[in-house]
Amino acid sequence: MIKFLIKGILRDPSKSIIPIFVITIGVMVTVLISGLVKGILSEVVNKNANLDTGHLKIMTKPYAENKDQLPNDLAILDLSILKESLELNYPNVDWAPRIKFAGIIDVPDKNGETKIQGPTLGLAYSILNTESKELKRLGIESSLIKGEIPKSENQILISDEFANKLSLSLGDEITFFGSTMEGSMVFEKVIMSGTIRFGTPLLDKGSFIMDLSYAQKILDMEDGAGELLGFLDNEIYNPIRAEEIKKDFNKKNINNLDEYAPIMLTLRDQNDLAPTLDLMDLITGIFIIVFVLAMSLVLWNTGLMGGLRRYNEFGIRLALGESKPKVYKFLLIESLIIGTIGSFIGTILGVSFCYYFQEVGLDFSDELAGTSIVMPSIMRAHISIDLFFIGFIPGLISMFLGTALSGRGIFKRETARLFKELEV
């Protein structure tokens, strides 16, 4: 029966070409939008996790309350003891201490006088520690624009945009002005070993990377860090697992009366990411539902037009003794075949476009120039297994519903009038 219907569709494309075209376009758009939403969501999560939030983050309570001010005087002390405890209790989490600190970069002229200055944000990562995963996690090698990764503690990487503003060249010696954990002034000469592009306007405006151990030394933070980030297995964020670890850790420290007791947050607890992620999931679900309904209405109209063109065909089949339920059944099966063909073509096209946007991406750097949150400037689609199936939901359901609604006209045909119609 199915073979017979397929032959009918191939030999008489006039009754299937429009529905297949509509389904193909609809499924393609559904797959493309789904891939873009998932990609943007994944980029936002990964960019925030790697650069700022981690999957988990530990800070002291007062530091967490004032973290936007980068209060390193409220930082975590006895870091090594805390890390040993965490590694014992949560062995599948990689813990990475970091320090953020603000200051001024001073660029001297050939006489040693100030030529230009600029406010800056310092980011201290474990980049000289061979056992650390920070270099790979942050993608520093692939983000280098000029120069090389620091090989000694007094070398730094500066954002390429910031370096161009300061007219810096590789190997230039510059001075960092800031304050230590205790509040005293810091005047430290460092060398620019290279420039880097973070991929987020907030950091590309004026940031630099320094090795963690060197930052601890010049900021008087020996065995201390402003934040301790945790990353789950395979660097993949699992909100359920992260929430379990957070609750367990905070429960153990709930009775800690120390003013500087540590507190743990998950990725969703930071940077207003919880409502952002929930909103994206909601938008994706609503989009698919609305699209199914919209396509059903379009295909209902297409089915009605097709039914009018096949008016005589139905009449002849009924006149020859074929039952109305059987004709209706054949029509529904035919709609599923047409839906499958359109969905298959649309899925292939949609995934192809997703692959293009996954590799090339969409540049939103101009639109994000004034943002104050960590957002990737290049938005990319993300190809996942579900994209190969999600398009079949609107493709099959809409065609089936459209045909089911329009096919009700078969049961309204009066057999007694068929011969009179056929005579005409």
Query: Do residue 400 and residue 285 come from a single domain?
Result: yes
Mean pLDDT, the chain, as a whole number? Answer: 82
Res 15 pLDDT > 80: no
pLDDT classification of 121: cutoffs 50, 70, 90: very high
Structural domain contains residue 198: yes
Res 407 pLDDT > 80: no
pLDDT classification of 146: cutoffs 50, 70, 90: very high
Res 333 pLDDT > 70: yes
What is the mean pLDDT of the segment spanning 135-147? 88
Query: Do residue 279 and residue 215 come from a single domain?
Result: no
Structural domain contains residue 206: yes
The closest alpha carbon to 190, from 103, 129, 266, belongs to 103
- CA dist., res. 225 & res. 234, Å (int): 24
What is the mean pLDDT of the segment spanning 74-98? 93
Query: Do residue 216 and residue 82 come from a single domain?
Result: yes
151-160, 239-248, 336-345, range with the lowest pLDDT: 336-345
Structural domain contains residue 343: yes
Which of residues 231, 266, 294 is at a domain's end? 231
Structural domain contains residue 372: yes
Query: Do residue 74 and residue 37 come from a single domain?
Result: no
Query: Do residue 107 and residue 223 come from a single domain?
Result: yes
364-373 pLDDT, tens digit per residue, is: 655 554 444 4
- CA dist., res. 404 & res. 418, Å (int): 22
Structural domain contains residue 17: yes
What are the angstrom distances between the C-alpha of 62 and each of 22, 74, 85, 122, 148? 58, 6, 21, 21, 37
Which of residues 198, 231, 264 is at a domain's end? 231
39-48, 80-89, 224-233, range with the lowest pLDDT: 39-48
- CA dist., res. 404 & res. 339, Å (int): 13
Q: Which residue has the higher pLDDT, 122 or 397?
A: 122
Which of residues 215, 231, 247 is at a domain's end? 231
Residue 49 is given by DSSP the state I
Q: Residue 340: its pLDDT value, please?
A: 87
Structural domain contains residue 252: no
Q: What is the pTM of this model?
A: 0.72
Q: Residue 332: its pLDDT value, please?
A: 82
The rounded percent of the chain whose pLDDT value lies above 70 is 81
Q: Residue 373: its pLDDT value, please?
A: 47
Looking at the structure of the chain, the number of domains it has is 2
Query: Do residue 34 and residue 170 come from a single domain?
Result: no
Res 358 pLDDT > 80: yes
Q: Residue 421: its pLDDT value, please?
A: 52
Residue 393 in contact with residue 288, Cβ under 8 Å? yes
Structural domain contains residue 335: yes
What is the mean pLDDT of the segment spanning 109-132? 89
Structural domain contains residue 417: yes
Q: Which domain holds residue 172?
A: 56-231
Query: Do residue 319 and residue 413 come from a single domain?
Result: yes
Query: Do residue 89 and residue 200 come from a single domain?
Result: yes
pLDDT classification of 126: cutoffs 50, 70, 90: very high
Query: Do residue 105 and residue 187 come from a single domain?
Result: yes
Query: Do residue 418 and residue 365 come from a single domain?
Result: yes
Query: Do residue 24 and residue 95 come from a single domain?
Result: no
Q: Which residue has the tokens 């559904």?
A: 30
What is the mean pLDDT of the segment spanning 1-27? 70
Question: Counting every residue, how long is the chain?
Answer: 424
- CA dist., res. 409 & res. 298, Å (int): 17
Q: Residue 341: its pLDDT value, please?
A: 87
Query: Do residue 206 and residue 285 come from a single domain?
Result: no
HEC per residue, 343-397: HHHHHHHHHHHHHHHHHCCEECCCCCCCCCCCCCCEECCCCCCCHHHHCHHHHHH
